[in-house]
Structure 1
């Protein structure tokens, strides 16, 4: 297992090299400039779309804008925001948060383009149903000769969509917050039992398909964000004296990298810190990775630009709001320096320090909601990929593979799981960003027509 862990870590480091950073961040900056900062100019209109102001029940698709964003957010507003941010701060200190923010700002433009394309170039599966996603807009937008790139994305997506990190961290949270304080000895046996329970819950929902998934998460996601938001505000209020110093330190440490403990990159520790923040940002909001295109591609709309505008809210909610809340809670309580914990256990220590008696349990409730909703959405992404590769009649086989992986995630180490998903996310980003950059001028042409029509 140690050798396998080391091999997966080397694989993740290899694919997250300089070329991918240039593709993700450089490509995102190009899209931001090409659109003349469109995500920030039309935020008000995006919120109108999300509220359903322009919904038409006769539009093609399966789910409305709000359900599409909720489904996409349920996979991004998850353990990446609680455990992923904690991993970033434990390794990189306050400066990692700055690079998380940069990935989100750039990611808003990337999300606009990728999810506009997901509706603009929808394809049909072998049963004749309309489907959206990176693999479809590669084939429909760039032509059949580009299909190998689409197949590459779908194969990487089969692994990238596995819920192993979320399950791993939920298991760790249940052990450290619920079982160990009661004197219950934890280990492989308790992890396996937790995995079996999660398998049963997940099976009941995902075997019901997208409609049941979207209905479940559209209720769960707003509620869990609200609870988490209130809890962190309490923590910040309790530690208000520490807040200004850490807000300043996020910016100064981003370039000084005095608290970075990882490997140097680009010839220095600042490069290593930058990569750490971008990796954790990509894991958190998935901008440029392409998974969310499969949820937004199923939205009921005849205007592709609308879905892009709704989708771009994802990184703002996910990283600029939820990740920042987690980061500040960890920083102002000082647990990032006083605790050896990592991942979700570090966030739990912050909650425990500032909200005695109930803080742990409030966090566990949020973690359970985040993780379980993520389990529902990622299964949908995996079935979409298998649908593209082997046909609609075979897509349900992915669910059995997916359910089995829950048991693996519950009983395996954190480092192995996070490196595995990081690595395959990186592979998914390659076809996503290449195809998006090529098709970007078509998105801008459609955007100009749309805004001239609706926002005179």
Structure 2
């Protein structure tokens, strides 16, 4: 009889096989060429939309373009950027980082298509309120025989958006910082209860409060983390060219960690998807709440996510880990603990203080947004009238996540992410012509 940890490993291995990676990577490449790189040619316009230069008062939705991006980024710029990168390098070597870059580059096109559809095919929930997300896209735009895919997304979304991973890794860092790595048995549940109270204080205020918190804290988090990583990179500047070379060469070498070329590719793409969520569909729910009647505008804003999330923040984390050589230190370290050791090696134990701040912001804002995603899935399945009850389930899983093993938690969440990607990518591939027709019409009216 397999243990829960063994079962979780079998689950994630089964989901994140070659077919799913081919769907995500191949789908992203298809969107890139099918659009003739249209999203990539309008980055300047996308930034202008995000800054509010093209807002139209009175349009439908809950959030401004900037708030929608901040809410989505608070979900994507989570501990996948710190702990997830560490797990990818330990499992797949430096070459996994290269495939995370590729997932981000094609993810730009994927997010443009998926999030444009999120606004284009918003649907009413059981209380008559306008909602966005892959389950509503499938229900509103596709024939009835596709409806099981909407159910699959909502069920997988209930699991994949739970705060298990964030609570687990935040607790681990607090244990390293406060208890010097020797946290007593009561420490995990106690920390989990404290985190749960913090999360409850925000999510009981609804999506607008989540977005306001994200807008307020994310910029400071990015600045602090960039300064920390720049310090490590500058301190090891002579090694940077060799590290970049190893990332590229080990992405293709048969001797790469993680089972050779295919193993490294699978690890990099899956960790990249976990980080930037391109093609997974969660971000579609946040961007679907944007206050706009122009689907293409929201698609353009959404495509900025993988650039900020993976190409910038994840790359900085990877350089810190690779430059310090922590991933090669004998032992069982991974996740946030390995990343923390990399900073401690360069900055001393003082480095744990800003890292704790960044981790607190990343993990809690991800939990805030995760609640919104999970609640929408819950409301789709059981009715919007009862979705407020999901708050209590969500808060309870914070305490559970603080007390279980990192491998089991990561496998469950990553596997659920993979299942969400199936209905998201299938529906987007089918509806891609609708997006291109809307894009041609939009740019005919707005020739930027």
d(CA) in 2 for partners of 1:386 and 1:104? 29
- Answering whether residue 33 of structure 2 is matched by residue 36 of structure 1, we say no
Once the two structures are superposed, the pairs formed by residues 173-188 of structure 1 within 5 Å of their partners are 173-180=173-180, 185-188=182-185
Once the two structures are superposed, the pairs formed by residues 84-95 of structure 1 within 5 Å of their partners are 84-95=84-95
d(CA) in 2 for partners of 1:281 and 1:376? 21
d(CA) in 1 for partners of 2:256 and 2:168? 26
In the TM superposition, residue 2 of structure 1 has moved relative to its aligned partner by 6.8
Partner residue in 1 for 2:285: 294
Partner residue in 1 for 2:236: 239
Stretch deviating more after TM superposition (434-443 or 356-365):
356-365
Deviations 1:302-324 (A, max 9, x none): 10000000000001100000000
Q: Answer whether contact 1:188 1:411 (CA < 8 A) is retained.
A: no
Deviations 1:187-208 (A, max 9, x none): 4310001100011000111011
Partner residue in 2 for 1:164: 164
- Answering whether residue 106 of structure 2 is matched by residue 109 of structure 1, we say no
In the TM superposition, residue 259 of structure 1 has moved relative to its aligned partner by 4.7
Partner residue in 1 for 2:348: 356
Partner residue in 2 for 1:273: 264
Report the TM-score when normalising by structure 2.
0.98
Corresponding residue pairs, total? 447
Partner residue in 2 for 1:313: 304
d(CA) in 2 for partners of 1:93 and 1:150? 36
In the TM superposition, residue 144 of structure 1 has moved relative to its aligned partner by 3.8
d(CA) in 1 for partners of 2:393 and 2:349? 39
In the TM superposition, residue 391 of structure 1 has moved relative to its aligned partner by 1.3
d(CA) in 2 for partners of 1:156 and 1:335? 34
d(CA) in 1 for partners of 2:330 and 2:74? 29
Partner residue in 1 for 2:23: 23
- Answering whether residue 396 of structure 2 is matched by residue 399 of structure 1, we say no
- Unmatched segments (≥5 aa) in structure 1: none
Stretch deviating more after TM superposition (374-383 or 16-25):
16-25
d(CA) in 1 for partners of 2:330 and 2:166? 22
In the TM superposition, residue 220 of structure 1 has moved relative to its aligned partner by 1.2
Partner residue in 1 for 2:137: 137
d(CA) in 2 for partners of 1:247 and 1:19? 29
d(CA) in 2 for partners of 1:98 and 1:146? 35
Q: Answer whether contact 1:46 1:313 (CA < 8 A) is retained.
A: yes
Q: Answer whether contact 2:256 2:264 (CA < 8 A) is retained.
A: no
Deviations 1:321-347 (A, max 9, x none): 000000001111121222532111111
In the TM superposition, residue 372 of structure 1 has moved relative to its aligned partner by 0.7
Partner residue in 2 for 1:412: 404
Partner residue in 1 for 2:443: 451
d(CA) in 1 for partners of 2:426 and 2:231? 43
Report the TM-score when normalising by structure 1.
0.96
d(CA) in 2 for partners of 1:339 and 1:303? 53
d(CA) in 2 for partners of 1:10 and 1:329? 31
- Unmatched segments (≥5 aa) in structure 2: none
SS at match of 1:256: coil
d(CA) in 1 for partners of 2:32 and 2:328? 36
Deviating beyond 6 angstroms after TM superposition, the runs of 4 or more aligned structure 1 residues are none
Deviations 1:347-375 (A, max 9, x none): 11111111124211111110111001111
- Answering whether residue 428 of structure 2 is matched by residue 431 of structure 1, we say no
Q: Answer whether contact 1:61 1:300 (CA < 8 A) is retained.
A: yes
- Answering whether residue 273 of structure 2 is matched by residue 282 of structure 1, we say yes
d(CA) in 1 for partners of 2:18 and 2:336? 29
RMSD: 1.3
Partner residue in 2 for 1:332: 323
